[in-house]
Amino acid sequence: MKYYLKVLQNYANFNGRARRSEYWYFFLFNTLISLVLGFIDGLLDTTIIGSLYSLAVLIPTIAVGVRRMHDVGKSGWFLLIPIYNIILAVTDGEKGENAYGPDPKEEQSAN
The per-residue pLDDT for range 37-52, each reduced to its tens digit, is: 999 999 999 999 999 9
pLDDT tens readout for residues 56-85: 999 999 999 999 999 999 999 999 999 999
At 106, the pLDDT band (50, 70, 90 cuts) reads confident
Listed residue (75, 55, 79, 52) closest to 65, CA to CA = 79
Q: How many domains does the chain have?
A: 1
At 1, the pLDDT band (50, 70, 90 cuts) reads confident
Residue 110 in this model has a pLDDT that exceeds 90: no
pLDDT at 109: 66
Look at residue 107 and give its three-state secondary structure.
Answer: helix
The whole-number average pLDDT for the span 32-36 is: 97
Are 29 and 10 in contact by the 8 Å Cβ rule? The answer is no
CA distance 38 to 49: 8
Q: Which domain holds residue 60?
A: 2-110
